[in-house]
Amino acid sequence: MPELQRLRPDHAPALLAFERENREYFAKSVPDRGDAYFAEFDARHAALLAEQGAGLCHFHVLVDGDGAVVGRVNLVDVADGEAELGYRIAEGATGRGLATAAVRQLCGVAAAEYGLTALRAATYADNAGSRAVLERAGFTLTGVEPLLPEGRSEAHYFRELRSFRPGGADGR
């Protein structure tokens, strides 16, 4: 299993390669990041690290033995003990349980290291792979809402992190 690492400045080249190589693949399931994201990557990377330093978000990459980024798992909009979860896995690394394992691991990190008590997540309702990840990682469906004007729907999920505290079912 690739290692889950908190985002650092030196991850920039491998992260950019990951986003470039998988751009078309990701755009089938999530909104494309746009050309500016790639053109201004270094400045954006620095800005994200500054946000992370301020405690507003927690970014993570999945790094394989060669130093390549094969996935990312992020917590954004940290407030009131909660955060929004997002993730993406390199096309060539999908179907091996990587997203499920990384989300499960991050739930533990969120509770133990970041002191969070609950996570939210949202995915296109027709993203069956993403929904499977959330359900296997203990998230509960809270609602499905139409997205206008896209004509698609978005499924919303929630997971309390109480079980990761000492003495809880997932606590260590």
Ligand X SMILES: CC(C)(COP(=O)(O)OP(=O)(O)OC[C@H]1O[C@@H](n2cnc3c(N)ncnc32)[C@H](O)[C@@H]1OP(=O)(O)O)[C@@H](O)C(=O)NCCC(=O)NCCS
Contact range with ligand X by CB under 6 A, out of 40-48, 58-66, 90-98, 108-116:
90-98
29 part of the interface to ligand X, by CB under 6 A: yes
132 part of the interface to ligand X, by CB under 6 A: yes
By beta carbon distance, the residue nearest ligand X is 129
Beta strands in 10-148 (DSSP E): 58-63, 69-79, 82-89, 118-124, 140-147
Contacts of 131 (CB under 8 A, 6+ apart): 123, 125, 155
* Closest distance to ligand X from the beta carbon of 149 (Å): 20
Name which of 128 and 147 has its Cβ closer to ligand X. 128
163 part of the interface to ligand X, by CB under 6 A: no
HEC assignment per residue over 10-25? HHHHHHHHHHHHCHHH
Name which of 45 and 72 has its Cβ closer to ligand X. 72
Contact residues toward ligand X (CB under 6 A) are 26, 29-30, 87-89, 94-100, 123, 127-130, 132-133
